[in-house]
Amino acid sequence: KQEVTQIPAALSVPEGENLVLNCSFTDSAIYNLQWFRQDPGKGLTSLLLIQSSQREQTSGRLNASLDKSSGRSTLYIAASQPGDSATYLCAVRLGTGNQFYFGTGTSLTVIP
Protein backbone atom coordinates (compact mmCIF):
# COMPACT_ATOMS: atom_id res chain seq x y z
CA LYS A 1 0.00 0.00 0.00
CA GLN A 2 1.18 3.49 -0.84
CA GLU A 3 2.14 5.58 2.22
CA VAL A 4 2.13 9.34 1.77
CA THR A 5 3.76 11.61 4.34
CA GLN A 6 3.74 15.38 4.59
CA ILE A 7 6.20 17.31 6.69
CA PRO A 8 5.84 19.60 8.52
CA ALA A 9 2.33 19.09 9.85
CA ALA A 10 2.05 22.81 10.54
CA LEU A 11 3.99 25.85 9.40
CA SER A 12 3.76 29.52 10.30
CA VAL A 13 5.59 32.17 8.27
CA PRO A 14 5.55 35.97 7.97
CA GLU A 15 3.96 37.49 4.90
CA GLY A 16 6.25 37.78 1.88
CA GLU A 17 8.40 34.78 2.73
CA ASN A 18 9.05 32.01 0.22
CA LEU A 19 8.30 28.54 1.54
CA VAL A 20 8.48 24.85 0.64
CA LEU A 21 6.04 22.11 1.57
CA ASN A 22 7.16 18.49 1.35
CA CYS A 23 5.41 15.30 0.30
CA SER A 24 7.03 11.87 0.29
CA PHE A 25 5.65 8.54 -0.92
CA THR A 26 6.82 4.96 -0.59
CA ASP A 27 5.90 3.45 -3.96
CA SER A 28 7.65 5.19 -6.86
CA ALA A 29 5.44 3.51 -9.48
CA ILE A 30 3.13 6.48 -9.56
CA TYR A 31 1.00 7.72 -12.44
CA ASN A 32 0.70 11.29 -11.22
CA LEU A 33 0.74 13.48 -8.12
CA GLN A 34 -1.74 16.22 -7.31
CA TRP A 35 -1.48 19.11 -4.84
CA PHE A 36 -4.64 20.46 -3.23
CA ARG A 37 -5.59 23.31 -0.97
CA GLN A 38 -8.30 22.96 1.67
CA ASP A 39 -9.78 25.91 3.52
CA PRO A 40 -11.49 25.28 6.89
CA GLY A 41 -14.86 23.63 6.44
CA LYS A 42 -14.48 23.44 2.69
CA GLY A 43 -13.71 20.82 0.06
CA LEU A 44 -10.41 20.42 -1.74
CA THR A 45 -9.29 22.76 -4.50
CA SER A 46 -6.87 21.38 -7.07
CA LEU A 47 -3.68 23.44 -7.39
CA LEU A 48 -1.32 21.48 -9.60
CA LEU A 49 -1.12 18.03 -11.13
CA ILE A 50 2.22 16.54 -12.19
CA GLN A 51 2.34 13.53 -14.48
CA SER A 52 4.97 10.89 -13.73
CA SER A 53 6.89 11.90 -16.86
CA GLN A 54 7.14 15.53 -15.73
CA ARG A 55 9.59 17.13 -13.32
CA GLU A 56 7.63 20.23 -12.41
CA GLN A 57 4.51 22.29 -12.95
CA THR A 58 3.98 25.98 -12.35
CA SER A 59 0.90 28.08 -11.75
CA GLY A 60 1.35 31.70 -10.73
CA ARG A 61 3.30 31.82 -7.47
CA LEU A 62 3.16 28.04 -7.09
CA ASN A 63 5.71 25.57 -8.37
CA ALA A 64 5.48 21.83 -7.77
CA SER A 65 8.36 19.46 -8.44
CA LEU A 66 8.46 15.68 -8.63
CA ASP A 67 11.37 13.30 -8.07
CA LYS A 68 10.00 9.80 -8.56
CA SER A 69 13.26 8.01 -7.85
CA SER A 70 13.50 9.49 -4.37
CA GLY A 71 9.74 9.38 -3.76
CA ARG A 72 9.39 13.10 -3.14
CA SER A 73 7.47 16.13 -4.29
CA THR A 74 7.72 19.71 -3.14
CA LEU A 75 5.32 22.62 -3.42
CA TYR A 76 7.08 25.97 -3.54
CA ILE A 77 5.06 29.07 -2.71
CA ALA A 78 6.68 32.38 -3.59
CA ALA A 79 6.00 35.66 -1.80
CA SER A 80 3.44 34.18 0.56
CA GLN A 81 0.27 36.10 1.38
CA PRO A 82 -2.24 35.81 4.26
CA GLY A 83 -4.74 34.42 1.73
CA ASP A 84 -2.45 31.44 1.26
CA SER A 85 -3.31 30.28 4.78
CA ALA A 86 -4.93 26.86 4.41
CA THR A 87 -4.13 23.17 4.63
CA TYR A 88 -2.16 21.80 1.69
CA LEU A 89 -2.57 18.14 0.76
CA CYS A 90 -0.75 15.99 -1.76
CA ALA A 91 -2.28 12.91 -3.36
CA VAL A 92 -0.51 10.20 -5.30
CA ARG A 93 -2.09 8.04 -7.97
CA LEU A 94 -0.49 4.65 -8.55
CA GLY A 95 0.28 3.36 -12.01
CA THR A 96 -2.61 0.94 -11.88
CA GLY A 97 -6.19 1.93 -11.29
CA ASN A 98 -7.57 5.33 -10.41
CA GLN A 99 -7.09 5.26 -6.66
CA PHE A 100 -5.43 8.24 -5.03
CA TYR A 101 -3.57 8.12 -1.72
CA PHE A 102 -3.57 11.29 0.36
CA GLY A 103 -1.11 12.67 2.84
CA THR A 104 -2.30 14.15 6.15
CA GLY A 105 -1.59 17.69 5.01
CA THR A 106 0.44 20.71 6.08
CA SER A 107 -1.46 23.49 7.83
CA LEU A 108 0.01 26.81 6.66
CA THR A 109 -0.49 30.12 8.43
CA VAL A 110 0.85 33.28 6.81
CA ILE A 111 1.09 36.09 9.34
CA PRO A 112 0.38 39.62 8.06
Alpha helices in 1-112 (DSSP H): none
CB closer to other proteins out of 18 and 51: 51
Report the 10 Å Cβ neighbour count for 103: 24
Are the beta carbons of 24 and 101 closer than 8 angstroms?
no
Alpha carbon distance 28, 101 (integer Å): 13
Question: If binding is defined by CB under 8 A, does position 65 make contact with other proteins?
Answer: no
Number of residues interacting with other proteins: please give it, by CB under 8 A: 24
Under DSSP, the state recorded for 44 is E
Alpha carbon distance 109, 106 (integer Å): 10
The residue type at 104:
T
Question: If binding is defined by CB under 8 A, does position 34 make contact with other proteins?
Answer: yes
Q: Out of 45, 59, 70, 109, which residue is the one contacting other proteins (CB under 8 A)? A: 45
Question: If binding is defined by CB under 8 A, does position 31 make contact with other proteins?
Answer: yes
Question: If binding is defined by CB under 8 A, does position 102 make contact with other proteins?
Answer: yes
Q: Out of 71, 84, 85, 103, which residue is the one contacting other proteins (CB under 8 A)? A: 103
| Sites of contact with other proteins (CB under 8 A) | 4, 31-32, 34, 36, 41-46, 49, 51, 89, 91, 93, 97-100, 102-105
